[in-house]
Chains A and B, each alone.
Chain A
Amino acid sequence: MSSVSVVYALLFYFATAVLVAGVVRKIVQYAKTPAPLKIPTTPAPVTQGGVVYRMAKEVVLFSSLFKSNKWIWIFGWMFHFALLLVLLRHLRYFTDPIWGWVALIQPFGKYAAFAMIIGLAGLWARRIVVDRVRYISSPSDHLMLALLLGIGVSGSLMTYVDHTDIVMVKAFFTGLMVFDVNSLPTDGLLLVHLALVVALMIVFPFSKLLHVPGLFFSPTRNQVDNPREKRHVAPWAAKLDAQED
């Protein structure tokens, strides 16, 4: 077994730990921080079921973004849903036997890579071409797109141009899951692809990728519009009341 395999095994363990611990820490932090006032952007649902529907529209259809800007919406939605398909397709490298539905989406997942690349390229083009978006972009915004695009392109090259030994790759990952380090093929493309994925996993909890958990905790979207019917008081605010009485 090559030292590359050991290095990559360690990298994946480290990245997974950072990703999970980092995101869990953030989720706990968001969940623990109170929202002392009712601030849903209205018109807002008046029932909890309505909020679930509103959130589902935001998460699945990006409905606010759709209202806002059709170009960002089409590129953004295309990228995210292609990425989802691609990720699901990749489950085949982690389970043995391959789950039926994962096998079923395999062809869609393969082509989704193109949609993902087009979406990312569109978003990047806007970042460069539209004066307003260029103004608000910092180096990290470009790097993030570069990283994702790098992952998409290197992955597609392996799918369509220069195959790697996929059986060996699968053995490597299924091995990692039971703390058993197997050999990884040493093709350049694969190593680049995996290194970029490791980088993405590590930056996730420290970057704007926190919009993923953030969306679910956004009080302007997830609160029920019922302040007159139901008194809403945060613990720290209740203390102010207690001091007075």
Chain B
Amino acid sequence: MADFETPEMKEVLSTPKLSRGATEHVSPYVAKPDHQEKLGFPGELVENFEEVAINKMGDLLGKYRGFRVFLDSCVKCGACTDKCHYYLGTTDAKNMPVARQDLLRSVYRRYFTFSGKYFPKLVGARDLTKEVLDEWHTYFHQCSQCRRCSVFCPYGIDTAEISMAAREILDSVGHGQKYCNEIIGKVFKIGNNLGLPEPALADTLEGLEEEIKDDTGVDVKLPLDQEGAEVLLITPSADFFAEPHIDGLIGYAKVFHAAGISWTMSSYASEAANFGMFIGSYENMRRISRRIRKAALDLGVKRIVFGECGHAWRVAYSFLNTLAGPWDFLDPKYPVPQHMLELTHSLIQEGKLNLDKSQNDHIKPTFHDSCNVARASRMGNKPGGQFEIPRAVIKSVCNNYVDMEPGTTHEATFCCGGGGGLLTDDLMEIRVKGALPRMEAYKKVVENNGVTNLVAICAICKAQFTKVMPYYGYGMDSIMSAHQLVSNAIVLPGQGEETAEPVEASEA
């Protein structure tokens, strides 16, 4: 299957002995000049890269308090050393969060601190060389910015912030990552990560309408660019073509239909994902976000709802107001933006969806908390709603829900291994190895509880698990969308013969 070995699944949360350089050979493709320039970065490595990089670091130190505080504060206590899924899966010492940070901190100390300038050996400071840049390119692309280490750090040091800054510096010297930068270019040109233009998108949505009609006999619409709709749905473009994402999209459409909410998608802002975050570029992240603002204004919608996607929800929930707000032209009765699960959850609470749980009786699901939803956002009004609402929705459409081992869920959830701009074939080895801790926890519930499926609410998680689960002996269709379960259980008004009582919540 590949030129590396899939790690052996052991006890949940076991810590391996460290090794050196185990994945130093896994480095993603460097962006081509074309990819770089579209984002406003130099096309190739600039000659005076040391000077440019250090200036950029100084710029970031002045702009981001977190970056500065995190670089100064680490005491090397070791609390984070066994928390990263990439360390657990690869055993490479540089995948320990503190060791990863130190790849950059060592340079910070050399150029920006008294001790590093005058006593570099003593405090582990070093000059910035081409070798260091290459090492950054390798190991800051073995970090999925999942923030698990940050939960456990006594100072809240967030390696994601360091990794974003490192990538921003790499971009600024002309040494970006192909995968992320190429994709961001597509969003600017076409509107989504896939480069799916409006006609193709319209065609796809029409195909889905036919599919739903064949399945249910009901005319469920998936509207595109419909002015005056109440809701603008922003969803990851993977929802338009990939499995199991597409089943989630069908689920959203059915929910809107059943609840009688008028909605639309936008061909201009046909992407929830925002890879500007992965590369740490405020400007690019902002530029992508403002497409959503423009689409909302142009279409005259009243609400914005986001489909299932982890980092997209982080950007939406935590940053959208900052980057593209204020949203004073939208209906103040609803949060801006709202998560599709928040919407479905409230409709279920209000009894507006007719659900037949038994439709999911052949499935025994467990839920994978996506890192960006779990540790960088919220759903609902209370802290922790991001854990409760997805579970509540799953439980109201399915009888057999099982949770995985504590310490691998909620705020301590493990990343799927493909987040943060790592979902590319050139990083397959790190993706497979990084999935190990999640797979170990999954294996346990499969063996002990007969779990059949892993449910996720993130486009990246879904794509990653589809590819990676077969390495661990599980079928690629083990991974499901949360709204796929909703889609299975929902009984549409006018569907089949039970339509005598139209919109009544069924507790069956």
**A residues apposed to B, CB below 8 Å:** 26, 29-30, 33-39, 41-46, 58, 62, 64-65, 67-69, 72, 76, 123, 126-127, 130-133, 135-141, 143, 203, 206-208, 210-211, 214-215, 217-221, 225, 227-228, 230-234, 236-237, 240
Interface string of B76-103 (1 = CB under 8 A from A): 1111111100000000010010110010
- In the complex, what residues of B have CB within 8 A of residue A131's CB? 17-18
- Whether A218 contacts B283 in the complex (CB less than 8 A), given A41-B151, A136-B96, A140-B123, comes out as no
Chain A residue, CB-CB nearest to B80: A68
A126→B76 CA distance, assembly (Å): 11
Verify A29–B319 contact, CB threshold 8 A. no
Chain B residue, CB-CB nearest to A43: B383
- In the complex, what residues of B have CB within 8 A of residue A136's CB? 76, 78, 81, 96, 98-99, 102
Chain B residue, CB-CB nearest to A31: B65
- In the complex, what residues of B have CB within 8 A of residue A208's CB? 72-76
Q: 6 closest A-B pairs (Cβ-Cβ)?
A: A214-B73, A220-B156, A43-B383, A68-B152, A138-B124, A133-B78
Verify B322–A36 contact, CB threshold 8 A. yes
A44→B72 CA distance, assembly (Å): 23
- Pick the contact of B78 from A62, A126, A143 — CB < 8 Å? A126
Verify B150–A214 contact, CB threshold 8 A. no
A234→B63 CA distance, assembly (Å): 9
A237→B119 CA distance, assembly (Å): 36
- Pick the contact of B377 from A42, A67, A215, A240 — CB < 8 Å? A42
Verify A38–B318 contact, CB threshold 8 A. yes
- Whether A72 contacts B78 in the complex (CB less than 8 A), given A214-B155, A219-B65, A227-B322, comes out as yes
What number of B residues sit within 8 Å (CB to CB) of A?
74
**B residues apposed to A, CB below 8 Å:** 15, 17-18, 61-66, 68-70, 72-83, 93, 96, 98-99, 102, 113-115, 119, 121-124, 147, 150-158, 161, 282-283, 286, 317-319, 321-322, 325-326, 335-337, 374-378, 381-384, 386-387, 411-412
Distance to closest chain B CB from A245 (angstroms) = 12
- Whether A132 contacts B82 in the complex (CB less than 8 A), given A138-B123, A210-B73, comes out as yes
- In the complex, what residues of B have CB within 8 A of residue A138's CB? 76, 122-124
- Pick the contact of B81 from A37, A132, A217 — CB < 8 Å? A132
Verify B62–A33 contact, CB threshold 8 A. yes
Name 14 interchain pairs, CB-CB below 8 A, sorted by A.
Answer: A33-B61, A37-B319, A41-B150, A41-B156, A42-B375, A46-B382, A58-B154, A68-B79, A76-B154, A136-B76, A140-B119, A218-B66, A227-B322, A228-B336
- In the complex, what residues of B have CB within 8 A of residue A143's CB? 122
Verify A140–B115 contact, CB threshold 8 A. yes
Distance to closest chain A CB from B205 (angstroms) = 28
- Pick the contact of B335 from A123, A210, A228 — CB < 8 Å? A228
- In the complex, what residues of B have CB within 8 A of residue A58's CB? 154, 156
Verify B286–A240 contact, CB threshold 8 A. yes
A131→B378 CA distance, assembly (Å): 37
Chain B residue, CB-CB nearest to A132: B81
- In the complex, what residues of B have CB within 8 A of residue A218's CB? 66, 69-70, 73, 155-157
- Whether A39 contacts B161 in the complex (CB less than 8 A), given A131-B17, A140-B123, comes out as yes
